[in-house]
Amino acid sequence: MQQDRIRNFSIIAHIDHGKSTLADRILELTETVSGREMREQLLDSMDLERERGITIKAQAVRVTWKGHQLNLIDTPGHVDFTYEVSRSLQACEGAVLVVDAAQGVEAQTVANAYLAIENDLELLPVVNKIDLPQADPDKAAKELADLIGGDPRDVLRVSAKTGDGVDEILDAVIKRIPAPAGNADAPPRALIFDSSYDQYRGVVAFVRAVDGVFETRERLLAMAQGTRFEAEELGFFSPTMRAADTLVAGEVGYVITGLKDVSRLRVGDTLTSVGRPASEPLPGYKDVKPMVFAGLFPTDSDDYPDLRDALERLKLNDAALVYEPETSQALGFGFRCGFLGLLHMEIVRERLEREFDLDLLVTAPNVAYRVRTTDGAEVEVHNPAEMPAEIEQVDEPYIRASVIVPKEYVGPVMELCTERRGRFDHMEYLSEDRVVLIYELPLAEVVVDYYDQLKSRTRGYASFDYDIIGFREGDLVRLDVLIAGESVDALSLILHRGSAYGRGRALVDKLREEIPRQLFDVPVQAAIGSRVIARETIKAKRKDVLAKCYGGDITRKRKLLEKQKAGKKRMKQVGAVEVPQEAFLAVLNLDEGR
Amino acid sequence: MVGVRHLYVHLPFCAHRCGYCDFVTIVGRAGEHGRYVDALAVELDLERQSLSPCLDTVFLGGGTPTFTEPGALRRVLRLVPPADELTVEANPETVTPELAQLLREEGVMRVSLGAQSFRPHLLAILERAAGPDDVRRAFYHLRDAGFDNISLDLIYGIPGQSPADLQADIDEALALGPEHLSCYELEAKRGTRFTHAHGVELERQAEALEGYFEAVVDRLIAAGYRWYETANFCRAPSADGGRDLRSRHNLAYWLGRDYLGVGIGAVSTVRGRRWRNTPRLPVYLKALGRGDRPPREVEELAADVRRRERLILGLRLDEPFEVEEAAGAIDLAALARLERLGLVVRPSTRAGDALSLTRRGRLLGGGVTAELLA
Under 8 Å CB-to-CB from B121, ≥6 apart: which residues?
A: B160
Cα–Cα nearest to B137, from B180, B74, B90, B71: B90
What distance in Å separates residue A314's CA from the closest CA in chain B? 42
Helix or strand (DSSP H, E) at A487: strand A486-487
pLDDT under 70: residue ranges of chain A? 34-58, 76-80, 589-594
Question: Which residue is closest to A522 within chain B, CA to CA?
Answer: B341
State the Cα–Cα distance between residues B216 and B257, nearest whole angstrom.
29
| A370-474 matches A292-363 in CATH topology | yes
* SS3 call for B147: coil
One-letter amino acid for residue A338 of the chain: G
Q: What's the 3-state SS for A310-343?
A: HHHHHHHHCCCCEEEEEEECCCEEEEEEEECCHH
Task: List the single best residue of B275, B300, B369, B372 to mutate versus A (max A Cβ within 10 A).
Answer: B369
In this structure, CATH architecture of domain B6-253: Alpha-Beta Horseshoe (3.80)
Interface predicted TM-score (ipTM) of this complex, two decimals: 0.92
Has this prediction a pTM greater than 0.90?
no
Check residue A60 and give left, alpha or beta (phi > 0: left; psi -120 to 50: alpha).
beta
A/B interface, count of CB pairs below 8 Å? 107
State the Cα–Cα distance between residues B314 and B37, nearest whole angstrom.
34
User: CB–CB of A492/A477 below 8 Å?
Assistant: no
The DSSP output letter for A145 is: H
Interchain pair A561, B265: CB under 8 A: no
Question: Which residue is closest to B6 within chain A, CA to CA?
Answer: A551
**∠ CA(A281), CA(A285), CA(A291), 5° rounding?**
165
Class of the domain covering A189-273 = mainly beta
State the Cα–Cα distance between residues A583 and A573, nearest whole angstrom.
12
* SS3 call for A510: helix
B370 closest CB neighbour out of A540, A553, A564: A564
Beta strand pairing status for B6-11 and B344-345?
Answer: unpaired
* SS3 call for A484: coil
Give the CATH number of domain A3-176; options: 3.40.47.10, 3.40.50.2300, 3.30.360.10, 3.40.50.300.
3.40.50.300
State the pLDDT at residue A156. Answer: 95
What distance in Å separates residue A549's CA from the closest CA in chain B? 8
What distance in Å separates residue B367's CA from the closest CA in chain A? 6
State the Cα–Cα distance between residues A50 and A200, nearest whole angstrom.
11
State the Cα–Cα distance between residues A268 and A320, nearest whole angstrom.
13
State the pLDDT at residue A590. Answer: 59
State the pLDDT at residue A365. Answer: 87
Interchain pair A555, B299: CB under 8 A: yes
Question: Is any Cβ of chain A less than 8 angstroms from the Cβ of B341?
Answer: yes
Question: Which residue is closest to A575 within chain B, CA to CA?
Answer: B337
State the Cα–Cα distance between residues B185 and A240, nearest whole angstrom.
76
Interchain pair A542, B213: CB under 8 A: yes
State the Cα–Cα distance between residues A509 and A535, nearest whole angstrom.
8
State the pLDDT at residue A593. Answer: 41
State the pLDDT at residue A591. Answer: 55
Helices within A6-136 (DSSP H only): 19-29, 38-51, 82-90, 107-118
Task: List the single best residue of A518, A558, A564 to mutate versus B (max B Cβ within 10 A).
Answer: A558
State the Cα–Cα distance between residues B274 and B267, nearest whole angstrom.
7
Question: Is any Cβ of chain A less than 8 angstroms from the Cβ of B306?
Answer: no
Domain positions in chain A are 3-176, 189-273, 292-363, 370-474, 477-593
Cα–Cα nearest to A571, from A560, A586, A582: A582
* SS3 call for A528: strand
Domain positions in chain B are 6-253, 307-372
Question: Is any Cβ of chain B less than 8 angstroms from the Cβ of A573?
Answer: no
Cα–Cα nearest to B96, from B66, B129, B61: B66
State the pLDDT at residue B77. Answer: 97
User: If chain B, 374 residues long, is cut into consecutive pieces of 10 residues, what is the mean pLDDT of each piece?
Assistant: 90 88 83 94 95 94 93 95 96 96 96 95 90 95 96 94 95 96 87 81 82 95 96 87 93 96 96 96 96 96 95 95 90 91 85 88 94 91
Helices within A153-260 (DSSP H only): 166-176
State the pLDDT at residue B122. Answer: 94
Question: Which residue is closest to A546 within chain B, CA to CA?
Answer: B366
Cα–Cα nearest to B184, from B248, B133, B88, B114: B114
In this structure, CATH architecture of domain A477-593: 2-Layer Sandwich (3.30)
User: CB–CB of A220/A228 below 8 Å?
Assistant: yes
Residues on chain A touching B156 (C-beta within 8 angstroms):
none
Question: Is any Cβ of chain B less than 8 angstroms from the Cβ of A570?
Answer: no
Helix or strand (DSSP H, E) at B371: helix B365-372
Residue A216 buriedness (CB in 10 A; 0-12 / 13-18 / 19+): middle
State the Cα–Cα distance between residues B194 and A393, nearest whole angstrom.
64
Give the CATH number of domain A292-363; options: 3.40.1640.10, 3.30.70.870, 3.40.50.300, 3.60.10.10.
3.30.70.870
Class of the domain covering A370-474 = alpha beta
Buried/exposed A394-421: b ≥16 CB within 10 Å, e otherwise: bbbbbbbbbbbbeeebeebbbebbeebb
Q: How many CA atoms lie within 13 A of B212 on its CB side?
A: 30
Cα–Cα nearest to B90, from B70, B62, B120: B62
State the pLDDT at residue A59. Answer: 76
Q: Kindly report the number of other CB atoms within 10 A of residue B258's CB atom.
A: 18
State the pLDDT at residue B97. Answer: 97
Give the CATH number of domain B307-372; options: 1.10.10.60, 1.10.10.10, 1.10.240.10, 3.40.50.10710.
1.10.10.10
State the pLDDT at residue A283. Answer: 87
State the pLDDT at residue A78. Answer: 58
Interchain pair A547, B253: CB under 8 A: no
Buried/exposed A555-573: b ≥16 CB within 10 Å, e otherwise: bebbebbeebbeebeebbe
Residues on chain B touching A541 (C-beta within 8 angstroms):
210, 364, 367
Question: Is any Cβ of chain B less than 8 angstroms from the Cβ of A576?
Answer: yes
